[in-house]
Amino acid sequence: MKYTLTLSALAMMTSAAMANEQTIYQWPNVYQGDNTSLQQLTKSSHEYWQTVSGRELKQGVAVHVTQADHLIRVAPKARFDSGTVIKPQQLKMDKLQLRDAKTNATLALKSIAAQQQMHQAGFKDGSVAIQLKNVSAQGKPMLQSTQPLGDDDQYLVHVVEKGSPYALKAHADFRVDEQQRSLAMDLSMAQQGNASKAANNVSLRVHSPVDEQLSARYANGKVIFSQPLQHVGAAQGFYEIEADTTVNINGQQVKRTIKLPFVYSKDTITMKTAKVSALGNNRFQASVPVNVSDEGRYAIRATLQGMVAGKATKLATVEVAKAIKGVDTFTLPFDVATAATGPFKLVDVELSDHTRMLKFTPTQKFVKGPVAGF
């Protein structure tokens, strides 16, 4: 029994030692990439989409079209009810029509694409597509199906206006830091050749990385969350914001939807002052003390800089990864091909939380090693 326990203890100690081992990689050339992490996103949209029920589709759903070059796509959406996947009826093209909301007259179609054609075009979700023959600035087309659709069934209505002079533009923060309850996002409807109009009538849908829908509102250029965010990092994917707005431009109702990802960020790792030491024969070692708030696998990438012919020169880049819990130290060995003199220091430092898929560019404070005057 003692023998078995001893083997078990040794196995546990070996596993712990292996888990604490560093994985080391020296880049064949000095890393030249940009260490600046993504802070903001800019995007524009010439389309909108909305989910409607079978009941609404039978009654008629307003579609906002402003130009001849457009496409109206309709696709069935599966839904969950008590853990069961419920698929709606497939749409029949001869039962789908566009009518004028004012006169109730049937509107002529320029082209149609049934499920088989859409499938061949890469849409394998049961989509159908139609296009109006004539688009009027005063017209108010309604999309309607005369099929006996289920009232609670769901369908996606997707309107695309390629090359439209009207574009919803968004400029938003990509990161929401810990304890923040809002995200800065500027929304405006741009009109080619004219000043942009602020998007004030905005509705939001926010989805978590595990597809939970969160309550949020848009006010004063900010997305304000009604509850704290929970999923740190991008290991499970990004949060997503869908914003809808309708703006009246020259008597036309222009509707657009835009989707933007963002990440909930937390400083899970911080570094203290690094120290560089000379080992001889153009070999150096840097020690970087770190502190982590959440146990996991972390990495550091850094470049050693020294003096060559009196000029500060980047000499080599090393990346090190290891499992860390609490306080620990990264040890970065550098094998330098070019003879250099001090002072030496680390530059272009990037810390990564592999467990939660986060990256950080720390404030760099360095202590010159004993090779400062070498």
- Cβ neighbors of 275 (< 8 A, separation 6 or more) are 286, 287, 366, 367, 369
Q: Which domain holds residue 208?
A: 167-265
Answer yes or no: are the C-beta atoms of 57 and 149 closer than 8 Å.
yes
> Whose structure tokens read 């909301």?
101
Give residue 135's pLDDT band: very low, low, confident or very high (50, 70, 90).
confident
Average of per-residue pLDDT across 336-343:
91
Tokens 């470049």 belong to 303
Shared-domain flag, residues 276 and 252: no
Select from 73, 77, 72, 81 the least CA-distant residue to 89: 77
Contact 317, 332 (CB under 8 A): no
- Which of 246, 265, 284 lies at the terminal end of a domain, its last residue? 265
The model's pLDDT over 283-313, given as tens digits with 9 standing for 90+, comes to: 999 999 999 999 999 999 999 999 999 999 9
Residues 6+ apart with CB under 8 A from 144: 57, 58, 59, 60, 61, 96, 97, 98, 99
Q: At residue 199, does pLDDT exceed 90?
A: no
For the cut 70, the answer to whether the pLDDT of residue 268 exceeds it is yes
Helix (H, G, I), strand (E, B) or coil at 222: strand
**Is pLDDT at 34 greater than 80 in this prediction?**
no
Do residues 256 and 199 share a domain? yes
Last residue of a domain, one of 265, 295, 323: 265
Distances in Å between the alpha carbon of 123 and those of 62, 73, 147? 23, 10, 22
Total domains, the chain: 3
- Residue 2 burial (CB < 10 Å; 0-12/13-18/19+)? exposed
Q: How far apart are CA 27 and CA 37, in angstroms?
A: 20
The answer to whether residue 33 is domain-embedded is no
Q: What is the pLDDT of residue 242?
A: 96
pLDDT at 105: 87
The pLDDT value given to residue 35: 66
- pLDDT at 366 exceeding the cut of 60: no
Q: What is the mean pLDDT of residues 318-336?
A: 97
Residue at which a domain ends, from 160, 190, 217: 160
Quick: pLDDT tens for 72-105. Answer: 999 998 877 777 888 888 888 888 898 988 888 8
